[in-house]
Amino acid sequence: MNDEHVLPMVDISLLESADVQDRMAVARQLDRACRDVGFLYIRGDQLNPQLFAQLVETAKTYFAQEDAIKLRSYIGYSENHSGYVPIGEEQFGSGTFDLKEAYDVNYDYLAEDGRRPLLGPTLWPDMPGFKSAVQAYYQHVRTIGRQIFGAFALALNLEEHFFDAQLRHSPSQLRLIHYPFNAAAQDASGIGAHTDYECFTLLFPTAPGLQVLDKNGAWLDVPIIENTMIMNIGDMMEILSNGRYLATKHRVKRVSEERYSFPLFFSCDYDYVIRPVVEGEKPRYQALKGGEHLYNQTAQTFSYLKKKVASGEVQLTNAVPLDSFGMNTAGESA
């Protein structure tokens, strides 16, 4: 870790070492950062700058198109919650909408059997080079995420490959998010305060704007550090760790320049039941079905899904409020 940064810094290079003690050393650093803050920077030899730069150029080309072209791939047309998300589609709070547009890419599940609300074929836009560039980045960061799952297993005193069997067809989503320049948006939210629904998130942003809620209830700006990613704990890892790690609320504020952000949200397989896995502790959380929770939270956020719920086309089972995890603005556990 590095005290000069607002957030801890963890070098994950040794997760590729053949020596388990090297991997354990990274796991201990990761454990401390996630216990103390829940948000951190990661750096490592694994990160491929060329794929990151290629993704930025692909996103710039895509979002520069006319709205009518982008709306041909509107997320409401998809089978697995993928596609174009126009400004105003997504809303975490009441009364306002997020000042951003996005393209969401889910795990491209092509098999006919085993499809779920978030597990199916991805809706790709008709733009040359988009699919290949985005899939290359997705697979690259997904591989890093699997290494981090192994580090979490070690940190929680589990067998290192504990999570492997639960990551075969996980609906882990990559978002390509564009915050357009808007001179009047300097005091407006780009994304409202929320926790992420999944296990953890690996984020690549191109400009400042992200803020994190610390344990004292204060919002901290998260600066950009070259050749790093930003990582945070989500709802499901809070449950799996039995509260050892808390999902951390965050938001995007003061968007005074054009900004791109690329979070990849790591989940377990759709039917995996999320419950505390720490041995010797009394469970502090009720078990929940991972995919069901993910879909429920998503359906409380996106306009096209809210309409389906309101019409009765979609019924949510065991849904919990969006702010059920992490800390509130008083620094208390939700």
| Tens digits of residue pLDDT in 56-75 | 999 999 999 999 999 999 99
Q: How many CB atoms lie within 10 A of CB 253?
A: 21
SS3 assignment, position 126: coil
| Tens digits of residue pLDDT in 91-105 | 765 555 667 899 999
Strand 101-105 versus strand 39-43 pairing type: unpaired
DSSP state at residue 108: B
**What is the CATH number for 73?**
2.60.120.330
Question: What's this model's pTM, rounded to 2 decimal places?
Answer: 0.91
What confidence score (pLDDT) does residue 329 get?
40
In a domain, 237, yes or no: yes
- Closest by CA to 191, choosing from 104, 103, 255, is 255
In a domain, 59, yes or no: yes
Q: CA 39, CA 33: separation in Å to the nearest integer? A: 7
In a domain, 326, yes or no: no
In a domain, 236, yes or no: yes
In a domain, 108, yes or no: yes
Q: CA 165, CA 212: separation in Å to the nearest integer? A: 32
| Tens digits of residue pLDDT in 110-145 | 999 999 999 999 999 999 999 999 999 999 999 999
Domain count within the chain: 1
Q: Which domain holds residue 239?
A: 9-311
Answer whether 57's CB lies under 8 Å from 260's CB.
no
Answer whether 267's CB lies under 8 Å from 166's CB.
no
Q: How many CB atoms lie within 10 A of CB 64?
A: 9
In a domain, 244, yes or no: yes
In a domain, 328, yes or no: no
In a domain, 138, yes or no: yes
